[in-house]
Copies of this chain bind each other. A is one copy, B any other.
Amino acid sequence: METIRRTKVVDILKRTDFGAVVNVKGWVRTHRSSKAVDFIALNDGSTIKNVQIVVDPSKFDENMLKQITTGACISATGVLVESQGAGQASEIQCSEIEIYGLCGSDYPMQKKGQSFEYMRQYAHMRLRTNTFGAVMRIRHNMAIAIHKFFHDRGFFYFHSPIITASDCEGAGEMFQVTTKNLYDLKKDEDGKIIYSDDFFGKMTSLTVSGQLEGELGATALGQIYTFGPTFRAENSNTPRHLAEFWMIEPEVAFIDKDDLMDLEEEFIKYCVQWALDNCKDDLEFLNKMIDKGLIARLEGVLKDSFVRLTYTDGIRILEEAVSNGKKFEFPVSWGMDLASEHERYLVEEHFKKPVIMNDYPKEIKAFYMKMNEDGRTVQGTDVLFPQIGEIIGGSVREESYDKLMAQITERNIPMKDMWWYLDTRKYGTCPHGGFGLGFERLILFVTGMQNIRDVIPFPRTPKTAEF
């Protein structure tokens, strides 16, 4: 007999050439048996939907059929027919089954309704469940949307280095990277560890941000974006923090604050629109099972223009709210860093739409942000979202060498390893700006999941580096 080439489940469910002999391969989600007929729901990861395999038990070996339990991997061949049952258009009248792999009753994803916490211990197997299949397909789609958005607009994907010898941004605690023999650490006369014999001849760490290198790219290639892993060695055991996460950092030459805010808004709306257009089945599942407000919230983001609000106006609104009786845990005053409760008040209660806050007090922002003429505020441009607060952190960069150096001096930033960054302001400096988006924060927003450990395949957190 001629071998029938496999059709993926996502494709078989679209086929209407009933009567054709087809083959599907995948993992058994459920197997219901009765005297007259067996139903096997088969999934191959290509879609959240299963294909139903209808088996006449009189035509198969009874013991073989018994072995086909949840989690088993099989190949099934048969005739594609219109389904009589509700909830599916087609099913397969099975004529042949090949078992690739059985699955014992100790299969960790055996039962339905297990907690996410339980499933995290089996992160390699949770990928086979409905929820994590949906999350991972959406994650893929968000990555594709990001590349397409930037490519279509003439940005170049730029690989900033992962191992770095500089920690200037001070974005967070860093992981040390070394090949030194820790049992034989050479030290100098003052007892300081010598790094000349380390792999790179100096102390090195994992990057906390590709922005500074991204600026090198933008001031040469015009518009770039990074999309790579970044690291924070912070002992934060929260549903919002990972030690290893992916960041997107576009950087653009010749952009001003208004254009930068336009870019941020266009970008994030594009991603959300992409999810609605390309992840319908997965979103509907998550909307039903995880977060009933999910799709409405995604659509809500697209409806209106984002509010553009200066920090100073934002503080005024918050102060007004306080004077009208609103209670915040942290007091409101100009110069403070907004807490999540303040951001959410502005976005969820006051404006009821996303806010791009800008012109922050310089003291609460990084040294490289462009100073406004008032000498007090800098051109930061953060996007605040419902539910998750800050989703994008952006700014116009200070392009003046003298002003940048003044900030570096004022803040005592060690610049000895940063000569190359200053060179961009020394040789043909140009106005430029950019932003950063934590990829997993975006996935949280788009999936409605609550814990950041559940939107990356294998989360790295304090005391956890399994798989």
Contact = CB atoms under 8 A, between A and B. Distances in A.
Given A25-B253, A137-B221, A222-B8, A103 B161 contact: no
B221 A199 contact: no
Given A133-B221, A420-B124, A100 B463 contact: no
A178 B178 contact: yes
When all copies of this chain in the complex are counted, the total is 2
A125 interface: yes
A104 B217 CA distance: 20
Q: Which of A45, A137, A201 has the most CB of B within 10 A?
A: A45
Given A200-B462, A427-B103, A457-B160, A216 B124 contact: yes
A431 interface: yes
Interface string A421-453: 101111111110000000000000000000000
A39 interface: no
Interface in A162-216: 162-165, 173, 175-180, 182-183, 185, 193, 199-202, 204, 206, 213, 216
Interface string A451-467: 00000111010111111
A333 interface: no
A151 interface: yes
Interface residues of A, number: 103
Given A147-B147, A200-B463, A204-B465, 19 more contacts: A8-B222, A73-B430, A100-B399, A107-B427, A128-B220, A140-B151, A158-B457, A160-B458, A161-B457, A162-B206, A175-B179, A176-B180, A179-B233, A180-B182, A182-B193, A199-B233, A201-B465, A217-B457, A229-B229
Closest 9 CB pairs of A and B: A101-B429, A127-B220, A45-B221, A45-B222, A73-B428, A200-B465, A140-B156, A201-B463, A128-B220
Interface of A: 6, 8, 10, 25-28, 44-46, 71-73, 75, 100-104, 107-108, 124-125, 127-128, 132-133, 136-137, 139-140, 143-144, 147, 151, 154, 156-165, 173, 175-180, 182-183, 185, 193, 199-202, 204, 206, 213, 216-217, 219-223, 228-229, 231, 233, 235, 243-244, 246, 253-254, 399, 420-421, 423-431, 456-458, 460, 462-467
